[in-house]
Amino acid sequence: MINMKINNLDVNAEEGWSILETAKFYGLEIPTLCYNEGLSQFGGCRLCLVEIGEGPGSKLVSSCTYPAEEGLFVRTDTHRVFEARRMMIELMLSVAPGSKVIQDLASKFGVKQMRFTVRNEECILCGLCVRMCAEQMDGHAIGFQNRGHKKKISTPFDMRSEECRLCGGCMYICPACQLRCQGPDADTAICNGCLTLDPSCLDTYDELQCWMYTAGRCGTCVQEKPEKSNSEDNEKTME
Amino acid sequence: MKEIKKINSIEELKSTIKDQTLFRQAEQKAVLFVSAGTCGQARGSLKVIEALEKEITAQNLKEKVLVKVTGCHGFCEAEPNIIIQPHNIFYQHVEPKHAKDIISETILNNTVIDALLYTDPISKDSIPKEADIGFYKKQKRIVMGDNALIDPTDILDYMSVNGYSSLSKILDEKTPEAVIETMQKSGLRGRGGAGFPTGKKWAFSRQAKGNPKYIICNADEGDPGAYMDRSLMEGNPHRVLEGMIIGAYAIGAEEGYIYIRDEYPLALQNITKALESAEQMGLLGKNILGTDFNLQLHISKGAGAFVCGEETALIASIEGKIGEPRQRPPYPAVRGLWKRPTNINNVETWATVPVIFANGADWFSNIGTDGSKGTKIFSLVGKINNTGLVEVPMGITLREVIYDIGGGIPEGKEFKAVQTGGPSGGCLPKEHLDLPIDYDSLFQAGSIMGSGGMIVMDENTCMVDVAKYFLNFLRDESCGKCLSCREGTQRMWEIVSSITEGSGKDSDLDLLGQLANAVKDASMCALGQTAANPVLSTIRYFKDEYLAHIRDNKCPAAVCKDLIQYSIISENCTGCLACIKPCPQVAIKGELKQIHILDQNKCIKCGACFEVCNFNAINVE
């Protein structure tokens, strides 16, 4: 059993769990996109970023790939995490603005501007279809090609694959090409039609982000560098 | 070629080394050491060797003169160069036509050919000895020095400079634990970029549970303008192998890989040859030198992806998968190649290992600074007089490297910046010239040591253009797995490109800063985490240049084509016709002794007229 802290809560993780799995077990929400319980972890979309460590040595890691470690100090909703996550969503939007999944993420995380040239490619290379095809359908019909900005998903040599059984698993799991955004401004790069949808917690109070701001704290969020007596009080209240 | 016999015991190896060193000392012939690394060959050293050998045969001097084909001597600017022993003369820019003079004048008559000597750019003195040349004076060539002395294809020649003596000493006297202790004491840090203490890395691999264990030599040198690893593998491959054998013994590995890029044909050839000779000699294989230590090394060729220099991507590539980094931890020391404990070190690190054991950990740790021990090889390139590979003790200042060793900036131009650490490094301005070169100081200044690339830029370099160049490299070479790195470098490149094209906005700088920080924070591997450095460091030190592009639509260094205009200054134009012919667009019209006219609509801003004009009559702004 691994003992660690997520958002200042003492948690126990099984050997082999990732930070994300541990957080999910305790009901702590971390947004994901390229993660799927039935598939191997990938760590490509960088949405599930969390901050590990304290002080100047702290860093951001993708919680779906980072293993739970003894004594790890994890924060899931710091400003640094939010800044990076918002930028990731903005980058995704610029590539696939038609995707409802991504527009919803933008709404949820308050991404209100899109400052890059829109490309309308619709594929954000999250690799879900590749893993779905290989791991669940045992098809291995599609894969990644090239690297860097030329990277794409396709069949070998871009030809009709003999391995493909037209099962449609790739389309089923795709977060970008299936659900279209039906918001009031679906044609613009940024819709924000669902802005009030399920906001998450911050480690410091932020009226834009915390929907319980006026009512007080929900209990999971933590203020930066809590004083000892305070955190003891918190634990008592939570009990 | 001397015959290679199998050596069966440590004693036998020791006596072979002793015989070979005595053999070298007793050498009666005059020896011409011709540098024939990739750079030397490119400058024609193979033809020089051919001419020299022809001349020796013609004059019937085979008994008296020996031509030794060595690897790179480091001084690329002077290639092809020859060191003549025992006369101790250094000739540069040798051409086949000089062969006759070298043999008849220098070797037979003992006279020095002045025309072939190195001339100091400042004092204009001719310098006959290698050691007196400014380029070599401040260097401390403990790892690279033997490159100039030995034939890299001959294992016995390496033994004649005490090669493999560290190995014989270790197998004879030291336990693996003692080897690791010495490494930790020496303070050697990884030369591949991150600077992780090598002894510690070895200790982790030794302690890790799992069998078999592997060692890997990372020879996937990909930084533009960096070639120290290539030079070591070309010029002294056995030193790299000796380091690896010692490492494998210390860690308890019985198998290893050399991951080398296929774009290094000569290095690949020499290291393959070295591997074969070492196997024939019994320094690799089963029961090495009669002990129960076994080691098998393989060569794995990379296809030139920059990201495969990252250790987890490199492992994936050896395993035959896509060269994409994966999450660390688990670190390769715990779970590496084929999911077994693996120790990866860079070529230069492996090559430093035998040097440490030959001279002792204390000797090594006395060189350098508190946090960075020993020497580091830098490839000094760009706008610099003495281009080449320089090996300097850690803690030397940038100024010493650039001005004392590098001989300053050509054509009396002013120094603007130095880019260290390859594409992931940063650009340091004039104010940082007195910065000591070590892992920590460079990091604090916003750059990194990296693998040791050092690109010098002069006043004619546009820093926005430099950032664009590196971003273009990175957007191609990112593996593309992380959204932050793939899209981030692409978008940063788009923004910087628009700035160089004159369509930048004030808000772009802000956006660049935010994006750069997000890329740095959110990416998984070191490539992404440092990909923002070229942008962040140029914005930090050269913000006014960005602003000049954005606000005034001007490129101060006159590099960005969309922001400059060539025109003819009528007062200076003598009507010499010189600029008319080179213009590929036929944009310049004029007659003899008439002021020429440049048609702006046709001009493609190639700068050909500027290059040829002798009267400063072409204006760029």
Per-residue pLDDT of B380-434, as tens digits, reads 999 999 999 999 999 999 999 999 999 999 988 999 999 998 888 889 999 999 9
**Would you tell me how many other CB atoms lie within 10 Å of the CB of residue B53?**
16
Nearest by CB: B482 against A44, A117, A150: A44
Q: How confident is the model at residue A225 (pLDDT cuts 50, 70, 90)?
A: very low
- Contact residues, chain B, for A43 at CB < 8 Å: 326-327, 481-482, 524
Residues in chain A: 239
Residue B531: strand, helix, or coil: coil
Which pLDDT score, from 0 to 100, does residue A183 have?
A: 56
- Contact residues, chain B, for A150 at CB < 8 Å: 476, 480
- The answer to whether the CB atoms of B482 and A124 lie below 8 A apart is no
> Mind listing the pLDDT tens digit for each residue in A138-176?
999 999 999 999 999 999 888 888 888 888 888 889 888
CA-to-CA dists, residue B158 to B58, B266, B499, B518, angstroms: 30, 18, 53, 49
Residue of A nearest to B482 (CA): A44
> Mind listing the pLDDT tens digit for each residue in A95-134?
988 888 888 888 888 888 889 998 878 789 999 999 999 9
Q: Are B599 and B609 in contact (CB under 8 A)?
A: no
The span from the CA of B10 to the CA of B165, in Å, is: 10
CA–CA min distance A151, chain B (Å):
6
The span from the CA of A150 to the CA of B410, in Å, is: 38
- Contact residues, chain A, for B494 at CB < 8 Å: 116-117
> What is the mean predicted confidence (pLDDT) over B292-300?
96
- Contact residues, chain B, for A124 at CB < 8 Å: 483
Least confident of A95-109, B71-85, B320-334, B595-609: A95-109
Which pLDDT score, from 0 to 100, does residue A103 have?
A: 84
> Mind listing the pLDDT tens digit for each residue in B233-246?
999 999 999 999 99
Q: What is the mean pLDDT of chain B?
A: 92
Nearest by CB: A60 against B476, B491, B522: B522
The span from the CA of B529 to the CA of B328, in Å, is: 14
Q: How confident is the model at residue A199 (pLDDT cuts 50, 70, 90)?
A: very low
Name the more confident of A217 and B380: B380
Which pLDDT score, from 0 to 100, does residue A185 have?
A: 55
Q: φ and ψ at B543, to 5 degrees? A: -60, -35
Place of tokens 């210390």: B250
Preferred mutation among B312, B328, B484, B515 to probe A, highest tally of A CBs within 10 A? B484
Q: Which of B485, B474, B368 is nearest to B421 (CA)?
A: B474
Name the more confident of A212 and B200: B200
Q: How confident is the model at residue A227 (pLDDT cuts 50, 70, 90)?
A: very low
Name the more confident of A182 and B206: B206
> What is the mean predicted confidence (pLDDT) over B223-230?
90
pLDDT at B262 over 90: yes
- The answer to whether the CB atoms of B518 and A84 lie below 8 A apart is yes
pLDDT at A218 over 80: no
> Mind listing the pLDDT tens digit for each residue in A32-56?
999 999 999 999 999 999 999 998 8
- The answer to whether the CB atoms of A43 and B477 lie below 8 A apart is no
Question: CA B378, B384, B388, B394: dihedral to nearest 10 degrees?
Answer: -30
Name the more confident of B584 and A181: B584
- Torsion sign (Cα): B323, B329, B333, B337: negative
Tokens matching residue A77: 């909703």
How far, in whole angstroms, is CA B258 from its chain's centroid? 18
The span from the CA of A198 to the CA of B491, in Å, is: 30
Nearest by CB: A46 against B477, B483, B491: B483
Nearest by CB: A125 against B486, B518, B524: B486
> What is the mean predicted confidence (pLDDT) over B281-301?
95
Q: Are B457 and B382 in contact (CB under 8 A)?
A: yes
Which pLDDT score, from 0 to 100, does residue B495 have?
A: 96
pLDDT at A214 over 50: no
Name the more confident of B316 and B223: B316
Q: Per residue, what are the HEC states of B131-143?
A: HHCHHHHCCCCCC
Element (H, E) at A50: strand A49-52
Which pLDDT score, from 0 to 100, does residue B550 have?
A: 95
Q: How confident is the model at residue B606 (pLDDT cuts 50, 70, 90)?
A: confident
> What is the mean predicted confidence (pLDDT) over B50-56?
93
Residue of B nearest to A150 (CA): B476
Which pLDDT score, from 0 to 100, does residue A192 have?
A: 58
pLDDT at A86 over 60: yes
CA–CA min distance A231, chain B (Å):
28
Q: How confident is the model at residue A191 (pLDDT cuts 50, 70, 90)?
A: low
- pTM, two decimals, is 0.89
pLDDT at A180 over 90: no
- Contact residues, chain A, for B511 at CB < 8 Å: 115
- Contact residues, chain A, for B330 at CB < 8 Å: 67
Name A140's Cβ contacts closer than 8 Å, sequence gap at least 6: A133, A134, A163
Alpha-helical segments (H) within B138-251: 155-159, 165-173, 176-186, 198-207, 228-235, 237-251
**Would you tell me how many other CB atoms lie within 10 Å of the CB of residue B597?**
13
Q: Which of B520, B546, B514 is nearest to B533 (CA)?
A: B520
CA–CA min distance B515, chain A (Å):
7
Q: Cis (ω within 30 of 0) for the bond into B80?
A: yes
The span from the CA of A44 to the CA of A144, in Å, is: 13
Which pLDDT score, from 0 to 100, does residue A189 have?
A: 64
Q: How many CB pairs under 8 A join A and B?
A: 105
Q: Which of A186, A32, A198 is nearest to A107 (CA)?
A: A198
- The answer to whether the CB atoms of A65 and B489 lie below 8 A apart is no
Preferred mutation among A90, A149, A150 to probe B, highest tally of B CBs within 10 A? A149
Write the burial class of residue A166 (CB in 10 Å: 0-12 exposed, 13-18 middle, 19+ buried): exposed
Q: DSSP for A109-154?
A: TT-----S-----------HHHHIIIIIS-----EEES-GGG-EEE
Q: Which of B459, B386, B315, B374 is nearest to B136 (CA)?
A: B386
Residue of B nearest to A16 (CA): B330
- The answer to whether the CB atoms of B330 and A67 lie below 8 A apart is yes
> What is the mean predicted confidence (pLDDT) over B110-132?
88
Place of tokens 């001349």: B55
**Would you tell me how many other CB atoms lie within 10 Å of the CB of residue B286?**
11
Q: Helix B10-25 crosses helix B165-173 at what angle (to 10 degrees)?
A: 150
> What is the mean predicted confidence (pLDDT) over B535-560?
93
Chain B residues with a Cβ under 8 Å from any Cβ in chain A: 305, 307, 322-323, 326-327, 329-330, 474-484, 486-491, 494, 507, 511, 514-515, 517-518, 521-524
**Would you tell me how many other CB atoms lie within 10 Å of the CB of residue B180?**
24
> Mind listing the pLDDT tens digit for each residue in A57-82?
899 999 999 999 999 999 998 999 99
pLDDT at B540 over 90: yes
Which pLDDT score, from 0 to 100, does residue B295 have?
A: 96
Residue of B nearest to A82 (CA): B518
